[in-house]
Amino acid sequence: MSPEAIRRSRAFYYGLIAQIDHEVGRLVRALDQMGIRRDTVVLFCSDHGDLLGDHGMFFKNNFFRGSWHIPMLLSCPGRIEPAPVSERLVTLTDVMPTLLELAGVEPPTGVHGVSLLDENENRHHIFGSLQPHRSAIHAVRTREWQYVFHANGGQQELYDLRRDWDERENLAYNDGCQDVCRELRAALTTHLREMDPTLLGSDGDVASTEPDWPTFGPVPTRLGLRPY
């Protein structure tokens, strides 16, 4: 896509964000007008982001920051004090246990998330997986590092988020970063063993296949693939 088309798509995307902000404001004002704001939990989040041209890519289906670093805002007057941006690592699996605790309900067994109300919960890793088949992509993120494993070909990515927030320099094959790679890959392997052991190979490591990259057709010239 041309730079002009990328700018146009971003402008439409920002317009959609402004519309969502407006509609959420209408909702909160309605709660105030009905006098039930203090009895209502409001949790705002997204399921994923969109690269919008970052890294030369659009849409999601990867673990670059633009794809899986999303907003999560939680409001419950009288139960949760207003606070600045939190540095905790959270995921969408935390939504259910958080809402259940606010409702006074015990979460069922087997829930993997944690309640955001537990200020003592300070996990060191978060995990994600896409497309659990021969083209699966798995990731583990800490505050300092992002590690990504591609089952298709066994390719790896490693980014130092302290100095490379935009994930431009892949350090996975840098001799000085192999200890970090092994540590994060081991954490990922442990997570996958708990979640779905079929994603591991016979050697107990993350499963991979011979490279088999698809042949992509020409890039469409119209912006008709999404609302923007």
Q: How far apart are CA 72 and CA 215, in angstroms?
A: 36
Of 133 and 198, the one with more pLDDT: 198
Q: Which helix (H) or strand (E) holds 15?
A: helix 3-33
Q: Tell me the β-bridge partners of 155.
A: 150
Q: Report the mean per-residue pLDDT for the chain.
A: 86
Which of residues 86 and 12 earns the better pLDDT score?
A: 12
204 DSSP assignment: S
Q: What is the pLDDT of residue 181?
A: 95
Whether pLDDT at 185 is above 80 = yes
Q: What is the pTM of this model?
A: 0.83
- Is the pLDDT assigned to residue 12 strictly greater than 70? yes
pLDDT band at 214 (very low <50, low <70, confident <90, very high): low
Of 86 and 19, the structure prediction assigns the larger pLDDT to 19
Residue 131 pLDDT: 76
Distance in angstroms (rounded) separating the CA atoms of residues 86 and 116: 11
Q: Which residues pair with 44 in a beta bridge?
A: 73
The pLDDT value recorded for residue 134 is 67
pLDDT band at 227 (very low <50, low <70, confident <90, very high): very low
* Continuous segment of H or E residues that includes residue 137: strand 137-141
- CA end-to-end distance (rounded Å), the chain: 14
Task: Specify the pLDDT at position 228.
Answer: 34
- By CB atoms closer than 10 A (0-12, 13-18, 19+), residue 200 is middle
Domains annotated for the chain, with CATH where assigned, are 125-213 (3.30.1120.10)
Tokens of 13: 């995307």
Which pLDDT band holds residue 30 (cuts at 50, 70, 90)? Answer: very high
Q: What is the pLDDT of residues 140-179, one digit of tens each?
A: 999 999 999 988 888 899 999 999 999 999 999 999 999 9
